[in-house]
């Protein structure tokens, strides 16, 4: 669990002393107005906004976003008015907190894809400042990390909303590590059984798969050396939720999902990149696994 001092230390590396001071003030203010409130887990409520601020500090967000993160539940859950935030921390911060509160008030309760799409559009349109969405995503990420404390029905609702609404938004914004974590957490809370079985299968197959990844990487490396192309090659297994989606969408069993490996090949220029693409194509053109999937890491 993080403390305010950890956050201060972290943001001091890239924010001015004045900005850091405002962040400390926001924390004290938030802790005071949330005083006596607890999360379902029993922790003092302020731990949650503090963790949300941490997630955003890891992304090196500006001080207004971090202050808004520390105060993001204040309008919704305490007697604090927007005007008071505005007076203490400025109009931008007040607008951010207000924007996050408005998003929080909407709950999503349909699985229809069309509605999910409308909902995503509405969320994006309501936030004319993209930082509102970033705070909301960080809020959701921390709620998903601690989702185990909720009742099963609430847990499922949050998980489904996460997979259908927030994962696509994170993906659209290019926030890859947040997207992956939301996917894995959403998958394991929405489908605990499927998640457990797949984890077992992947673990069982892993030894075998590690060898395959090494083999592919070695032949790539050999070939690129022959062509005198300096490149960095990174191979990995695809994530559980990605494999699951493939199985679900194509009606495949675990053993039928072939493109569970992804390779990233980093070269100096776009020209060389296309040459590498050609080389890969000739190396594996007879293989069933589609070549285009080799590079979408």
DSSP letter at 42 equals: S
Distance CA 275, CA 232 (A): 15
∠ Cα 183 123 48 (to 5°): 60
**Helix intervals (H) in 149-239:** 152-161, 167-172, 176-190, 192-226
Q: How far is the CB of 76 from Mn ion (least distance, A)?
A: 8
Q: How far is the CB of 137 from Mn ion (least distance, A)?
A: 11
Distance CA 119, CA 107 (A): 10
Q: Is the distance from CB of 141 to CB of 178 less than 8 angstroms?
A: yes
Closer Cβ to Mn ion, 10 or 143, answer by number: 143
Tokens of 11: 């943001």
Closer Cβ to Mn ion, 167 or 262, answer by number: 167
Closer Cβ to Mn ion, 98 or 237, answer by number: 98
Taking CB under 5 A as the criterion, which residues in 141-200 touch Mn ion? none
Burial of 171 (0-12, 13-18, 19+ CB in 10 A): middle
Taking CB under 5 A as the criterion, which residues in 71-130 touch Mn ion? 73
Stretch that binds Mn ion, among 25-33, 107-115, 134-142, 150-158 (CB under 5 A): 134-142
Residue with tokens 């070549």, as numbered in its chain: 291
Distance CA 109, CA 178 (A): 23
Closest CA to 170 of 190, 149, 155, 185: 185
Tokens of 2: 């993080």
**b/e per residue 252-285 (b: at least 16 CB within 10 A):** eebeebebbbbbebebeeeebbeebeebbeebbe
Q: How far is the CB of 136 from Mn ion (least distance, A)?
A: 9
Among candidate residues 43, 58, 62, 77, the one labeled active-site is 77
- Candidate list 51, 139, 164, 183; residue touching Mn ion; CB under 5 A: 139
Q: How far is the CB of 49 from Mn ion (least distance, A)?
A: 7
51 forms part of the interface with Mn ion (CB under 5 A): no
Over the window 53 to 82, marking each residue x when it contacts Mn ion by CB under 5 A and - when it does not, the resulting string is --------------------x---------
Q: How far is the CB of 139 from Mn ion (least distance, A)?
A: 4
Closer Cβ to Mn ion, 11 or 71, answer by number: 71
Q: Let me know if 109 is a catalytic residue.
A: no
Q: How far is the CB of 52 from Mn ion (least distance, A)?
A: 6
Give residue number: closest CB to Mn ion.
139
Neighbour count for residue 192 (Cβ, 10 Å) = 14
Closer Cβ to Mn ion, 73 or 161, answer by number: 73
Closer Cβ to Mn ion, 140 or 160, answer by number: 140
Among candidate residues 62, 76, 98, 184, the one labeled active-site is 76
Over the window 201 to 240, marking each residue x when it contacts Mn ion by CB under 5 A and - when it does not, the resulting string is ----------------------------------------
Q: Let me know if 77 is a catalytic residue.
A: yes
Catalytic site positions: 76-77
What residue ranges bind Mn ion (CB under 5 A)?
73, 139
């Amino acid at each position: 669990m993080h403390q305010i001092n950890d956050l201060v230390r972290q943001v001091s590396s890239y924010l001015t002393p004045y900005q850091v001071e405002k962040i400390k003030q926001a924390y004290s203010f938030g802790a005071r107005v949330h005083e006596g409130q607890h999360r379902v887990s029993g922790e003092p409520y302020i731990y949650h906004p503090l963790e949300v601020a941490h997630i955003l500090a890891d992304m090196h967000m500006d001080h207004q976003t971090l202050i808004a993160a520390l105060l993001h539940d204040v309008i919704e859950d305490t007697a604090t008015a927007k005007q008071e935030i505005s007076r203490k921390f400025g109009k931008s911060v007040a607008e951010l907190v207000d924007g996050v509160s408005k998003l929080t008030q909407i709950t999503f309760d349909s699985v229809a894809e069309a509605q999910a799409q409308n909902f995503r559009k509405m969320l994006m349109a309501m936030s004319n400042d993209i930082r509102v969405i970033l705070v909301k995503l960080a809020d959701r990420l921390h709620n998903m990390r601690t989702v185990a404390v909720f009742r099963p029905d609430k847990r499922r609702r949050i998980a489904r909303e996460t997979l259908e609404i927030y994962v696509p938004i994170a993906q659209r914004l290019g926030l890859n590590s947040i997207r992956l974590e939301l996917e894995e957490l959403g998958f394991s809370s929405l489908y605990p059984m499927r998640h457990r079985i797949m984890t077992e299968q992947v673990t069982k197959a892993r030894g075998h798969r590690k060898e395959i990844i090494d083999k592919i990487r070695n032949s790539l490396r050999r070939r690129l050396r022959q062509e005198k192309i300096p490149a960095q090659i990174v191979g990995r297994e695809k994530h559980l939720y990605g494999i699951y989606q493939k199985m679900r969408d194509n009606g495949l069993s675990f053993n039928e999902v072939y493109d569970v490996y992804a390779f990233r090949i980093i070269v100096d220029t776009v020209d060389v990149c296309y040459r590498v693409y050609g080389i890969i194509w000739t190396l594996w053109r007879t293989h069933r696994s589609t070549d285009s999937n080799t590079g979408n890491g």
